[in-house]
Structure 1
Amino acid sequence: MSRFVDRVTIHIAAGDGGNGCASVHREKFKPLGGPDGGNGGRGGDVRLVVDPGVHTLLDFHYRPHARATNGKPGQGGMRNGSLGGDLVLPVPDGTVVLTPDGEVLADLVGNGTTFVAAEGGRGGLGNAALASRARKAPGFALLGEGGEERELVLELKSVADVGLLGFPSAGKSSLISVLSAAKPKIADYPFTTLVPNLGVVTAGDVVFTVADVPGLIPGASEGRGLGLDFLRHIERCAVLVHVVDCATLEPGRDPLSDIDALESELARYTPALQAEHGGGELAERPRLVVLNKMDVPEARELAELVRSDVAARGWPVFEVSTASRDGLRELSFALAAEVQRYREQLPEPEAARVVVRPAAVDGDSFSVEPDPEAEDAFVVRGAKPERWVRQTDFNNDEAIGFLADRLAKLGVEEELARRGAEPGSQVTIGRMTFDWEPSTPAGVAGVLGRRGTDQRLYSDDRIGAADRKSAKRARRTSLDEHGRYIGPEEDDEEDQR
C-alpha cells in the first residue's frame, strides 16, 4: 500500500577532498627536477533539487542516510585529482528545509530549484602549489578537508490553489472526488483521510488545484488530532473553503459553531514562512463556505436557517450535494474566479532561486582562551587555524613547520605569549592537542631558523664541477721520476710496483 510522508529527518554527508601529492620531478640528468605534486580533487556536494515527478518524501523515510563521493588524491607530474561527483536528491515541489532546531534554511518551490544541503571538502594542495621562493622544494603536501555532515528536517507543504477545511466526515474527500479526477479514500467514519489529497479542477479556461486537508478539530493548532501535521498544507493556498456538514447528528454542533471553531484554530496557527512566500496571515485569505449534504432534507432546512448569518460575514455561500452533484458547477466557477483574481495580483514570475543566508564569518579572526579542562593549557578557536590543522600531516615535520609558520604569521603565537603561555604548555586547535614550542622570542615575529626534514634542501654529497676539473688538471700534471706523464692506468701500474 502506498504511503504519504510529509516530514522526515535525513543525515547527509558531502564527499571528502582528496589529499595533495608530494612528488619530485625525476628525469635523466635531473635528479632534483623540482616539485610536481598535483592538488587533490574537491569532494562532491549534496544537492536537493525540486523534481515534478516526486510527490512525497517516502524515499527519504526508508533511506535517510546519503553521502556524496570523495575527491581523488593528486598525483605526480602535475596531475590533479578528479572531482567527487555531486549527489542529487530529488524532492517534491513545496519542500521546506529546516535544521533540527527549527531554523528555516530553504523553501524549495518551482521546478528545478536547487539547494546545496552539504558542501564537499576542499582538496589539499600538492607540493608544486606550495613552492615559494623561501621553500623551493616542499617535501610535504596538504591533506584534503572532510566534507560537511548535517542533519536536516524536510517538510512538505502542498502547493495548491484551494484548500478544503472542515471537521472530520464533513464531506471534503467526496467533494474533491467529484470536482476532479482524484480518488481519495471515502468512508463513513471520522479521520478517514490521513494524508492530503490533491486534485486538478478545470472551470472554463482556468485550471487550478484543490487540496483536501485531513479533518481538523478544536485544539489542532496545539497538536490535537492530526492538526499540526497537516495545517502546514494550507499555508500556500490562495483560497480557503469551509466545508460544513449540515446533516451532522452530533450534539452541540451546527454550521456556525463549526466555522467559528476552525477560524479560531487558523488564527492561532501562524505559518512559519508567511514572510517568505508572500501569503500573509491566514485571516487575510479569501473564504468560501460550502454547505454540504443538501440531498438530506434536514440539511436543507438547516442551511436555510444559517445561510443569511454566514453571508453576513461577507463570505460567498454555496449549497451543494456530492451525491446528487447539485451546485458543483457554480462552486467550481466561483473558485476559478477567486484563483484567477489571486493570480492577477502576483508579480511577474522570475526564475526559481534559493536565497541563502550564510552566517557571517571573519576570515582572519581567532580567539585564545584558557582550557577549562586542564591547567596551564589554552584553546585556539578560529576558522583558519582549525582548517589549517585539518590540512596538516602531523607525521611530517616539515608540514608541522609550515603550520607553525602560518600560525605565527596570523598572530596566534603572539597572542599565546600575551596570554601567558610558556614553552611546553598544552595548546588545542580543533581536535589536535600539542605542546607549544614558540618559534618567536617574546612574541616578536621573526623565525629563528629553517624548518623541515627534507635534507635535499640543505645538504648535497655530490662532487661539484669545480672539484672535478681540479682533479682532472692534477692528473694531467702528474710526472714520474724520469719526467714522463703518468695517466690513470700508468698511476695504477706505478702503485703496483
Structure 2
Amino acid sequence: MTTFVDRVELHVAAGSGGHGCASVHREKFKPLGGPDGGNGGQGGDVILVVDQAVTTLLDYHHSPHRKATSGKPGEGGNRSGKDGQDLILPVPDGTVVQDKAGNVLADLVGQGTTYVAAEGGRGGLGNAALSSARRKAPGFALLGVPGGLQDIVLELKTVADVALVGYPSAGKSSLISVLSAAKPKIADYPFTTLVPNLGVVTAGSTVYTIADVPGLIPGASQGKGLGLEFLRHVERCSVLVHVLDTATLESERDPVSDLDIIEEELKQYGGLGDRPRMVVLNKIDVPDGKDLAEMVRPELESRGYRVFEVSAVAHMGLKELSYALAEVVAQGRAAKPTEEATRIVIRPKAVDDAGFTVVREEDGLYRVRGEKPERWVRQTDFSNDEAVGYLADRLSRLGVETELMKAGARSGDGVAIGPEENAVVFDWEPTVMAGAEMLGRRGEDHRLDEPRPATQRRRDKQAERDEAEKEYDDFEPF
C-alpha cells in the first residue's frame, strides 16, 4: 500500500462568480421604484498553504480533482450574493508547484507560505450597480465570470540540512536511527528504504535535520532503479554525506568505486556541484571493514574529503560525526542572508498597449484577444438585447471597432472574441457608436421620469456629459 507520494498532478478549479440580479423595486402605490438588483458573490479561490504537519502528497494522489465553491447570485432589494468559500489545500514544506510544461510557478518553503493556484471568478453586477443618470432602469445584469482552471504538478523536495547518499544497504537508515530519534525500517537487503527518511539531530547548540536518499545505483539519474524518484530530495541540503559500505559482500565493489559511481550520478543529475562533501566509512565494527577503511582513508583524504570511520550498529565514531555535521551546517546557515528582501517584479504596460489585440487568421476570421473583451463577453447574457447593446458600447469605448477597421474588416466578416475553444463568433456590422443609435436610449423608462426643477435638469445634463467621458468598466467595483 502506498504511504509516501512526492509527485502528483493536481487539477484545480476555482469557484465561479454569482450572476447579478435584474430587479425593480416594487411596493404599494409605487410599482416602479427603480432598479434594486444585487451583485453576485465572488467565487472561492484554490489556495496551497504550507503545513508542517503534512509530510506527503498522498491525499492528492488519491483525489487529484479539487474545486472551490461558487458565489451565490444577487437578489432583489439590493441583496448581494454570498461569496464562495476558498479551498485551502495543505502541502508539505518544500513543495514546488509547476505547470504541465515544467515551468516553476511557486516554491513553497516555510510554514504558512501560500500560493493561489486558481482564482475565483468575479461576481456579475446587478442592475442597481449598472444604473446611472443616463441608464436609469437597466433591464439586464452581468453574469458571473467562471472560476479559473489549472492543471499543476506538485513536487516535494525534502527540506533537510544534511543528505546521506550511497548504495542500497550502505547503512544510511541505520545511521539516521542512531543519530536521531527516527525509526526507519531497516533490513539487510537492497531497496529496504522505499521513501526518504528524515530525522532531527542535536549537537551542542545546533539542531539540524538529516535525510537519506534511497535507491541510488548506477544509472539512477537516467531513471534506473529508484534513484531518480528521490534525487530531488537532496537539492535543498547544505552538505552531502557519502555513506560507504566497508563490509560489502559483493566482490566487484569497494568504497572508492562506490563513491565515484554515486558522484557521477549526482553530476548527471546536475545542480549539486557547489555542495560540500563528507565521507562516512560505515561498518567498521566488522574486522574486514575496519581494515578496508584504514586502507582507503588516505586516498579519500587526498581528494579533499573529510573522512569519518563509524559503526551505526556499535555506535562508534558517531559523536565526532554529529558535531562535524553541525559545524558545516552552522557555516552554511551563517553564509545565507538572515532576511531576504522581498523581490517585486514590475512589468509596466507599454504606452501604446490598448489592452487587446486583433489578428486576421488564415480563414479570414478576425480574432480579438484581451482580458477585458474576453471577460465582458463571458459576463453578457446574449438572450437580452439590451445586454448585447451594452457589450457593444463597451467594446466600442475600448476601441475594438476602430482596430477591426484598421485590420481591414468589412461588413459581414466573421469576428471571434476569445480563444478558439470557447470563443463567441458573430458577423460584424460596423456602426457609428456600436449600435447606440439603433437601439435607442437603453436603460431608460419614461414612467420613472418626474417633473424636475431647472437646476436639477442642468445637473442631470452635466452628469450625462461627465459619464460619456468615462469607460463603462468604471462602474465595476473590482
TM-score by structure 2 length? 0.87
1:411 equivalent among 394, 399, 407: 399
Note the C-alpha offset of 1:369.
Answer: 2.4
Letter in 1 for 2:370: G
State yes or no: 1:286 paired with 2:276.
Answer: yes
State yes or no: 1:55 paired with 2:55.
Answer: yes
Post-superposition CA distance 1:243-290 (Å, at most 9, x none): 00111232432211111222222222234xxxxxxxxxx222222111
Letter in 2 for 1:210: I
Query: What is the alpha-carbon distance in structure 1 between the residues aligned to residue 177 and residue 386 of structure 2?
Result: 73
State yes or no: 1:434 paired with 2:426.
Answer: yes
Cα contact 1:97–1:155 (8 A) shared by 2:
yes
Aligned to 2:475: none
Letter in 1 for 2:404: L
Aligned to 1:239: 239
Note the C-alpha offset of 1:207.
Answer: 1.7
Note the C-alpha offset of 1:209.
Answer: 1.1
Query: What is the alpha-carbon distance in structure 2 between the residues aligned to residue 359 and residue 154 of structure 1?
Result: 27
Cα contact 1:166–1:244 (8 A) shared by 2:
yes
Cα distance change on mapping 1:24 and 1:361 into 2, 3 Å = farther
Q: Which structure ranks higher in relative contact order (CA pairs < 8 Å, sequence separation ≥ 6)?
A: 2
Note the C-alpha offset of 1:371.
Answer: 4.0
State yes or no: 1:323 paired with 2:313.
Answer: yes
Cα contact 2:243–2:280 (8 A) shared by 1:
yes
Post-superposition CA distance 1:391-422 (Å, at most 9, x none): 10000000000011111111212222333333
Cα distance change on mapping 1:91 and 1:357 into 2, 3 Å = farther
The alignment partner of 2:4 has SS state of coil
1:401 equivalent among 385, 389, 400: 389
Cα contact 1:399–1:452 (8 A) shared by 2:
no
Note the C-alpha offset of 1:453.
Answer: 9.5
The alignment partner of 1:105 has SS state of strand
Note the C-alpha offset of 1:320.
Answer: 0.9
Query: What is the alpha-carbon distance in structure 2 between the residues aligned to residue 198 and residue 84 of structure 1?
Result: 38
For 1:8-407, what aligned pairs fall within 5 Å after superposition?
8-271=8-271, 282-349=272-339, 364-372=354-362, 374=363, 376-407=364-395
The alignment partner of 2:66 has SS state of strand
Cα contact 1:294–1:319 (8 A) shared by 2:
yes
Cα distance change on mapping 1:135 and 1:326 into 2, 3 Å = same
Cα distance change on mapping 1:72 and 1:202 into 2, 3 Å = same
Give RMSD over aligned pairs. 2.6
Aligned to 1:449: 437
Query: What is the alpha-carbon distance in structure 2 between the residues aligned to residue 391 and residue 96 of structure 1?
Result: 34
Note the C-alpha offset of 1:361.
Answer: 7.1
Post-superposition CA distance 1:158-202 (Å, at most 9, x none): 111111010111111111111112111212221111110001112
Cα distance change on mapping 1:446 and 1:301 into 2, 3 Å = closer
Query: What is the alpha-carbon distance in structure 2 between the residues aligned to residue 460 and residue 235 of structure 1?
Result: 72
Cα contact 1:397–1:453 (8 A) shared by 2:
no
Note the C-alpha offset of 1:41.
Answer: 1.0
Which consecutive unaligned segments of at least 5 residues does structure 1 have?
Answer: 272-281, 465-497
Which consecutive unaligned segments of at least 5 residues does structure 2 have?
Answer: 452-478
The alignment partner of 1:283 has SS state of coil
Query: What is the alpha-carbon distance in structure 2 between the residues aligned to residue 305 and residue 294 of structure 1?
Result: 12
Q: Which moved more, 1:355-364 or 1:294-303?
A: 355-364
Aligned to 2:466: none
Query: What is the alpha-carbon distance in structure 2 between the residues aligned to residue 452 and residue 357 of structure 1?
Result: 46
Aligned to 1:470: none
Post-superposition CA distance 1:66-92 (Å, at most 9, x none): 100101111122221111110000111
Cα contact 1:43–1:147 (8 A) shared by 2:
yes
Note the C-alpha offset of 1:147.
Answer: 0.4
Query: What is the alpha-carbon distance in structure 1 between the residues aligned to residue 450 and residue 134 of structure 2?
Result: 25
The alignment partner of 2:191 has SS state of coil
Cα distance change on mapping 1:359 and 1:263 into 2, 3 Å = farther
Cα distance change on mapping 1:463 and 1:175 into 2, 3 Å = closer
The alignment partner of 1:284 has SS state of coil
Structure 1's consecutive aligned runs of 4 or more residues displaced over 6 angstroms after TM superposition are 355-363, 461-464
Query: What is the alpha-carbon distance in structure 1 between the residues aligned to residue 445 and residue 327 of structure 2?
Result: 85
Cα contact 2:68–2:86 (8 A) shared by 1:
yes
Cα contact 2:310–2:317 (8 A) shared by 1:
yes
Query: What is the alpha-carbon distance in structure 2 between the residues aligned to residue 116 and residue 314 of structure 1?
Result: 46
Note the C-alpha offset of 1:220.
Answer: 1.9
Cα contact 2:213–2:227 (8 A) shared by 1:
no
Cα contact 1:398–1:453 (8 A) shared by 2:
no
Post-superposition CA distance 1:290-322 (Å, at most 9, x none): 101112211111111111111112221111112
Q: Which moved more, 1:208-217 or 1:392-401?
A: 208-217
Query: What is the alpha-carbon distance in structure 2 between the residues aligned to residue 55 and residue 461 of structure 1?
Result: 64
Task: State the aligned residue count.
Answer: 446
TM-score by structure 1 length? 0.84
Letter in 1 for 2:22: A
Query: What is the alpha-carbon distance in structure 2 between the residues aligned to residue 179 and residue 259 of structure 1?
Result: 22
The alignment partner of 2:155 has SS state of strand
Q: Which moved more, 1:5-14 or 1:23-32?
A: 23-32
Letter in 1 for 2:77: G
Aligned to 2:410: 422
Identity of aligned pairs, percent?
64
Query: What is the alpha-carbon distance in structure 1 between the residues aligned to residue 274 and residue 299 of structure 2?
Result: 20
Query: What is the alpha-carbon distance in structure 2 between the residues aligned to residue 422 and residue 104 of structure 1?
Result: 44
Cα contact 1:105–1:356 (8 A) shared by 2:
no
Cα distance change on mapping 1:448 and 1:55 into 2, 3 Å = closer
